[in-house]
């Protein structure tokens, strides 16, 4: 083997594998695999994955609340534990169940409320707090580079005007 130089190690590895390593690297650096790699490494893809996991967890909790709390309350009040049996129309062996649609709407609304209050509001509050902190940090640092550049250019302009006026 050659020295510990990374280029030499890579060259030795490529020779030992018959150039297969170069082909694999070439495949991942070009074409559709590179685009796919960039797509996966985007922050939005990670955010979407977190959203899917959080959504499924919230859905499980809301379904449990509906099945174990709301449906029994409906059963106590209305005599039937589930709305899916209510408001059904059967014609020629085809059944339309408005009660099942109402159940799905209740689930949807409860999931939306739970996601809003358990995920969206805390994230927005956190963003607001970090924005306030960022503004406070920016004020503590003093003027930005752009502001300093603008002030310097204005000073140069003023000095040039003074020099022009005194020369006349």
* pLDDT tens-digit profile, the chain (168 residues): 445 666 666 666 666 666 555 555 555 556 666 776 676 666 677 778 888 888 888 888 888 888 888 878 877 887 777 777 778 888 898 988 888 888 888 878 887 888 788 878 888 888 888 888 777 776 777 777 888 899 899 999 998 888 888 876
**What 3-state class would DSSP assign to 94?**
strand
d(CA 85, CA 96): 10
- Phi, psi at 143, each rounded to 5°: -70, 150
- Bridge partners for 90 per DSSP: 95
Architecture in CATH of 53-141:
Orthogonal Bundle (1.10)
Entry pTM: 0.46
Instruction: Report DSSP state, residue 120.
Output: I
Domain residue ranges of the chain, discontinuous segments joined by +: 1-41, 53-141
Query: Do the Cβ atoms of 115 and 58 come closer than 8 Å?
Result: yes
Residue matched to tokens 């209305």: 78
Taking the C-alpha atoms of residue 155 and residue 165, their distance in angstroms, rounded to an integer, is 15
């Amino acid at each position: 083997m050659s020295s510990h130089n990374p280029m030499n190690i890579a060259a030795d590895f490529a020779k030992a594998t018959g150039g297969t390593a170069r082909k694999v690297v070439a495949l991942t650096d070009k074409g559709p695999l590179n685009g796919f790699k960039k797509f996966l490494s985007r922050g939005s893809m990670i955010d979407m994955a977190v959203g899917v996991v959080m959504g499924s967890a919230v859905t499980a909790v809301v379904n449990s609340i509906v099945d174990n709390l709301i449906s029994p309350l409906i059963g106590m009040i209305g005599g039937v534990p589930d709305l899916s049996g209510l408001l059904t129309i059967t014609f020629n062996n085809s059944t339309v169940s408005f009660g099942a649609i109402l159940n799905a709407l209740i689930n949807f609304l409860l999931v939306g409320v739970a996601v809003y209050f358990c995920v969206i509001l805390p994230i927005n509050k956190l963003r607001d707090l970090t924005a306030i902190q960022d503004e406070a940090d920016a004020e503590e640092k003093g003027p930005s580079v752009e502001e300093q550049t603008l002030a310097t250019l204005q000073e140069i302009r003023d000095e040039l005007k003074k020099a022009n006026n005194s020369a006349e």
